[in-house]
Structure 1
Amino acid sequence: MKRILYIILGCLLTSIGAVILQHGEVMTGGTAGLSLLLSYASDLPFGLVFFLVNVPFYVLSIIFMGWNFTVSTILSVTLLSVMTGLDKWLPAFEIPMSVGAVVGGVFIGFGLSIMFMNRASLGGSNIVALILQKKLGWNPGKLNFLFDFVVVLYGFYSIGVLNGALSVLSIMVTSSIISHFKQKIGASNQSAKEKEASPSVEGTVATS
């Protein structure tokens, strides 16, 4: 129950960050950034696009991270899609781009860190980053920055140089916060791996 509450909190913080970035006309990276670009281009709701873009990554998640993580991720993506969709009911407001970049990046950084520490993610590049940390011990914050930076580079063309530069600042803020918690994220993944292995070990002992 405690883990579920933490995942909900992580989704809430991340959705607030996404809404702040959207109103500040600042991009984020990864599948969220790609979804924003597609949302701008197609006029489809961000939540719907974000959910659909993540579907192919669930196969990777099942193979490398297991069903527990995958189900948590699917529920988290769905929850975030619903939460960001509530933005249309809020009064119209604008946020200065520089403020939106930093504040939005902080909210997303803490939101994702909480989710990673509780064995959940928001799909896409999050899944890839956690797989590479689990298998190779790579820093998930730096990996997220790399994936996010690629998407933001593509977004320079559609949102302009200033917005693109502030988007890079935003993902730097997000990735630095995730990197700060990398030890706890790694410990959480290791703990989950040991729990998955323990039944088979017990079964071997019982058989012998």
Structure 2
Amino acid sequence: MKKILIMIVGCFFTSLGLYVLKSASLVTGGTAGLSLSASYLFPISFGVLFTIINIPFYILSYKKMGKEFTISTILAVTTVTVLSSIITTYFPPLAFHPLVGSIVGGIIIGAGVVVLFMNGSSLGGAQILSITLQKQFNWNMGKTNFIFDTIVILIGMYSIGVLRGFYSILSVLIVSTMLSRFKEQIAKRNTKPVKVTSTEPILETSSM
């Protein structure tokens, strides 16, 4: 029950941060940003694209991170989708300067993502890739996430313009910096303990 509540808190922060970015007319990184950018180019809804793009990452997650992490990630993605819809419907409309929106939104999203990672979950896409590379090769999670998200935002510049694209990159940099700050704790939380399977007796030594 505690794990579910923590996941909801992380999802709420993430959804709120996305709302702030949207209020500043900025885009985000990850598969959400990629899906949003693709929806402008193809006659396919955001929800369908978001689901399709995440499928390969779910498979990677299942193979590298296990069943529990993958299920938790799918639930987190679904929760963020629902909470984002609720916030957009019932929260008062906001208007942020792009610089303020990128900083505030980045900090809030970063907090939400860190909470999710520390709770053994993620929001799919690049986050699954980042934590897998961190676990397998000790690659810096924040840098990997930043590179992927920056590429996504560069694609999104086609629809929001260059200036707002750079503001969006700033928000991604903030999120990535927060991930890097907590990378060791996240890695420990998502590393399965090695079970001792040896049946050899433990020899005791006595002093003479």
The interval holding the TM-score normalised by the smaller chain is: 0.7 to 0.9
- Output one character per residue of 1:166-200: Cα deviation in whole Å (capped at 9) or x when no partner: 0111111111111111111111122xx11xx43xx
Report the residue type matching 1:129 in the other structure: S
CA offset digits 1:148-179 (Å, max 9, x no partner):
01111112222111101101111111111111
Contact 1:47/1:84, CA 8 A, preserved across alignment:
no
Instruction: Give the letter for the 2:164 counterpart.
Output: N
Q: Percent identity?
A: 46
Match of 1:74 in 2: 74
Query: Match of 1:128?
Result: 129
**In the alignment, residue 128 of structure 1 is paired with which amino acid?**
L
Q: Does 1:95 find its partner at 2:96?
A: yes
Cα distance in 2 for residues equivalent to 1:99 and 1:43 = 33
Cα distance change of structure 1 residues 17 and 166 upon mapping to structure 2, 3 Å threshold: same
- Which runs of 5 or more residues in structure 1 are unaligned? none
Note the residue ranges of structure 2 that are not aligned, 5 or more in a row: 201-208
Aligned mates of 2:188, 2:116 — CA distance in 1:
13
C-alpha displacement at 1:91, in angstroms?
3.5
Partners of 1:122 and 1:178 in 2: how far apart?
13
2: CA distance, partners of 1:119 / 1:31: 19
Kept in 2: contact 1:51–1:77 (CA 8 A): no
**2-side partners of 1:139 and 1:132: how far apart?**
8
Q: 1:57 maps to what in 2?
A: 57
Q: Following the alignment from structure 1 to structure 2, what is the Cα–Cα distance between the partners of residues 104 and 46?
A: 21
**More helix as a share of residues:** 1
In the other structure, the counterpart of 1:137 is 138
- 1:36 matched to 2:36? The reply is yes
3-state SS of 1:56 partner: helix
Instruction: Specify the alignment match of 1:184 in structure 2.
Output: 185
Asked whether 1:161 is paired with 2:157, we answer no
**Partner SS state of residue 95, structure 2:** coil
Give the aligned length.
199
User: What is the one-letter code of the residue matched to 1:133?
Assistant: Q
Is the alpha carbon distance of 1:161 and 1:101 closer, same or farther for their aligned partners in structure 2, counting shifts above 3 Å?
same
